[in-house]
Amino acid sequence: AVRYRGWRVYTNLPPCGAMRGHGAVNVRFAFESLLDEMAAQLGLDPFALTGGGADGAVIRADVERAASAQKKAPADRAAAAAPARPAGFDPAQMRQAIAMAMARSKREIPHYYLDEAIDFGPAMAWVEAFNRDRPPAERLLPAVLLLKAVAVALRTVPQLNGFCIDGRFTQATDIHIGWAIALRGAGLIAPAIRHADRQSLPELMAALRDLVQRARAGGLRSSELTDPTVTVTSLGDRGAERVQGVIYPPQVAIVGFGRVAQRPWVVDGALAVRPVVHCSLAADHRTSDGHLGGQLLACVAQALQSPERL
């Protein structure tokens, strides 16, 4: 398994022309956004926590232990809240590594961009009904429907699922979606959810939870960093409404989802207010064109109108 040994953060931003492998920069591993949010809600400083996971990684139990200790010693709260960044943490170095990889992508890959507004109402209603009588551990997040919709759409438009190496496109035989996870203040990692089109929504939700947990603990396998055939990024509830991604070479496409927002929408000839999500596509003009890209977005939109079929 790939670990964050010596606080070395591994990213899956390979050089153009390389199908396998990933770059690395020496920085201290920062919190993944969900763990950071948990610490913030408990009034903890993430950088002041001591990691008890693999190779010193901070895990959920460390946050819970610190929260318990803070309750027992209220007089120490002010001191515990004081920011204390770990020695050797250099966000600028991580940002520079990502900038170099993305600059090369933009320089060598002729990107084109498309955007589609999608009525997310049917998907939201279906998720709410599905979750209503289930315990929290079995509930679905709306993001898992976005992931599955892209995977299903790639069956119809497989020309956007694969690799461009030395100017030649190789279509992937399987659909392994790289799900982008933000590392607090210091970059991204997009490990693979393998065979995403074949898994049920509950299976995908379990896989996503497991992936995020192991990403936080630094326990991702090397194959999970090199297997993605396409990347999907979702900005979540607190993100912007639109995102225009940069392709991770040698992949040929990245699909992005912005924040779901209430917007005017025509339903059966009448104006209504609906939850709308913008789905964007950045694709490689060497391997596809806007016609194919538009087909993919149309398939994603169609899939989200019938979430019970996903």
Q: Is the dihedral of CA 217, 222, 228, 231 positive or negative?
A: positive
106-124 b/e with 16+ CB inside 10 Å = b? eebbebeebebbbbbbbbb
What was the pLDDT predicted at 18? 40
Residue bearing the bigger pLDDT, 16 or 274: 274
For residue 171, pLDDT over 60 is answered with yes
- 80/91 Cα distance (integer angstroms): 22
Mean pLDDT (the chain) is: 80
What was the pLDDT predicted at 50? 64
Phi and psi angles of residue 50, each rounded to the nearest 5 degrees, phi first:
-100, 125
Query: What is the tens place of the pLDDT at every residue in 246-285?
Result: 999 999 999 999 999 999 999 999 999 999 999 999 999 9
Query: Considering the entire predicted model, what is its pTM?
Result: 0.72
What was the pLDDT predicted at 89? 43
- 77/280 Cα distance (integer angstroms): 44
175 to each of 127, 136, 147, 202, 261, how far by Cα in Å? 24, 28, 11, 18, 29
Q: Which is nearest to 171 in space by CA: 153, 190, 155?
A: 155
All domains of the chain, ordered by start, with CATH?
A: 5-93 (no CATH), 103-309 (3.30.559.10)
Query: What is the tens place of the pLDDT at every residue in 191-241?
Result: 999 999 999 999 999 999 999 888 767 788 888 988 999 999 998 877 899
- 249/258 Cα distance (integer angstroms): 22
Query: What is the tens place of the pLDDT at every residue in 276-286?
Result: 999 999 999 99
What was the pLDDT predicted at 13? 41
Q: Which long-range contacts (CB under 8 A, 24 or more apart) does 78-85 make?
A: 80/44, 80/45, 80/48, 81/43, 81/44, 81/45, 82/45, 82/48, 83/45, 83/47, 83/48, 84/45, 84/47, 84/48, 85/47
- 170/289 Cα distance (integer angstroms): 16
- 67/82 Cα distance (integer angstroms): 15
Residue bearing the bigger pLDDT, 48 or 234: 234
